[in-house]
A and B are shown apart, each in its own frame.
Chain A
Amino acid sequence: MRDGLRELLPGLVLLTVVAVTAQALGSRIPFLTPLVLAVAIGALITNVVGLPERAEQGLKKHSLLLETAIVLLGASLSLDAIIAAGPLIVALVLFVVVFGLLLMTALARLANLNGRMGSLLAAGSSICGISAIAAVAPACNARQTQIAHAAATILLFDAVTLVAFPAAGQFLDLEPQFYGIWIGLSMFSTGPVAAAGFAHSATAGEWATMTKLARNALIGVVVLGYSILYTSRGASEPGQPMGRVWTDFPKFLFGFVLIAVLVNSGVLPDAVVTSLTITSDVLFLLAFAGLGFEIRLAEMYETGLVPVGIVGIHLLIVSGVTYIIATLLF
């Protein structure tokens, strides 16, 4: 056990240093969240300096940290937030998520992109950016490089939309509620959505955040859907026993659902729920730092611009459709 810990320690220390640095910089640099910075710093180190061999074992643990963070994320899943957002917003969110997932799947097939990569991009663009990619990855048994490439593509669009949507809001002179709902339905990650919303006005920021949180709440359902889809596909392959369905099933989902049920039924005190949410954020930061270390720019170059192209088309179509629907409803 002591040898095991000794092997893990250098990598875990490296993850902690990156996470602390990202947290410190994130509070000083506007529009860049610590999560984005953690990925960026990890990617910078691995591509510029390279990794010491003895850190590899510890760095591999970022997947476990990520799954633990997702289990604890169940503590911040609020059914009240969904109800407060209103039935119309919920209906819109359901439509946009289903439409977005189907559209990305179709675009990925048209572009002849790997199915798992298509699923990662679909989840990332339709639910909540790289958190959704990370949550869906174990369900579809994606490779680390695919996760890293999908995350990098989504991060690129997070940066672009953070500038483009507020500019569009100003140019089109949109009402705060309309603008907030529109970006909450169209943009990818929660941090940039809130930032782009509050960049317009406080009211727009509140509507954007509320709409985005309602979208995020569907993450469990989407992960469950992908789990069933991929495990059934695995079982149908020749030579794959039915037991594979259970072996491949991401068991951390049980923990996620259990904690969400415990919190929403009021079993856990508020102070504990707050602590669990903070712990989940810290674990996400460590896991994202580890994810950054998986980004290999040389391999991304080999993947080409196809993911960037189809995510761009997806964003244009979804934001166009949500704009038209929001114009009719609000």
Chain B
Amino acid sequence: MKGQGVERITMEPCLFEVYASLDRGWRACLLAATIVVGTLVVTAL
């Protein structure tokens, strides 16, 4: 059971892998969106 659990976790694609699979233009959009959201949150605080 322990082994299956470890296998399941390592097979799930992490966010970084999803990001890495994107076209560079989409990555730029995602990075910019993160900056916009982050700036909105910081400004709101």
- Whether A64 lies near B31 (C-beta < 8 A) is yes
User: CB-nearest residue of chain B relative to A4?
Assistant: B16
- Whether B28 lies near A67 (C-beta < 8 A) is yes
- Whether B14 lies near A64 (C-beta < 8 A) is no
Q: From A71, A250, A254, A268, name the one whose CB has the most chain B CB atoms within 10 angstroms.
A: A71
Residues of B within 8 A of A251 (CB): 23, 25-26, 28-29
User: CB-nearest residue of chain A relative to B22?
Assistant: A251
- Whether B16 lies near A1 (C-beta < 8 A) is yes
- Asked if A42 is at the interface of the complex by the 8 Å CB criterion, the answer is no
Q: Known A1-B16, A255-B33; judge A276-B39 contact (CB<8 A).
A: yes
User: CB-nearest residue of chain B relative to A70?
Assistant: B28
Q: Known A1-B14, A269-B43, A271-B43; judge A64-B36 contact (CB<8 A).
A: no
Chain A 226-255 residues near chain B, CB threshold 8 A: 247, 249-255
Contact pick for B43, options A4, A70, A71, A275, CB 8 Å? A275
Contact pick for B28, options A68, A247, A271, A279, CB 8 Å? A68
- Asked if B9 is at the interface of the complex by the 8 Å CB criterion, the answer is no
Complex Cα gap A272–B28 (Å): 19
Complex Cα gap A181–B31 (Å): 37
Residues of A within 8 A of B36 (CB): 72, 259, 268, 272, 276
Q: Known A1-B16, A4-B16, A272-B43; judge A71-B27 contact (CB<8 A).
A: no
User: CB-nearest residue of chain A relative to B25?
Assistant: A251
Contact pick for B35, options A1, A63, A72, A268, CB 8 Å? A72
User: CB-nearest residue of chain A relative to B35?
Assistant: A279
Residues of B within 8 A of A268 (CB): 36, 40
Tell me the minimal C-beta distance from A53 to chain B in angstroms: 22
Complex Cα gap A267–B39 (Å): 14
A: interface residue count bin: 20 to 34
Complex Cα gap A271–B32 (Å): 17
Residues of B within 8 A of A275 (CB): 39, 42-43
Chain B 1-45 residues near chain A, CB threshold 8 A: 14, 16, 20, 23-29, 31-33, 35-36, 39-40, 42-43
- Whether A71 lies near B16 (C-beta < 8 A) is no
User: CB-nearest residue of chain B relative to A2?
Assistant: B16
Q: From B28, B33, B39, name the one whose CB has the most chain A CB atoms within 10 angstroms.
A: B28
- Asked if A184 is at the interface of the complex by the 8 Å CB criterion, the answer is no
Complex Cα gap A71–B23 (Å): 15
Residues of B within 8 A of A72 (CB): 32, 35-36
- Whether B26 lies near A71 (C-beta < 8 A) is no
Complex Cα gap A116–B37 (Å): 36
Tell me the minimal C-beta distance from A249 to chain B in angstroms: 8
Tell me the minimal C-beta distance from B10 to chain A in angstroms: 13
- Whether B40 lies near A272 (C-beta < 8 A) is yes
Q: From A1, A72, A252, A269, name the one whose CB has the most chain B CB atoms within 10 angstroms.
A: A252
Contact pick for A272, options B27, B29, B32, B39, CB 8 Å? B39
- Asked if A138 is at the interface of the complex by the 8 Å CB criterion, the answer is yes
The 7 A-B pairs at the shortest CB distance, nearest first, are namely A251-B25, A67-B28, A255-B29, A71-B32, A252-B28, A252-B25, A1-B16
4 more contacts with CB within 8 A, not counting A67-B24, A68-B28, are A64-B27, A252-B26, A255-B32, A272-B43
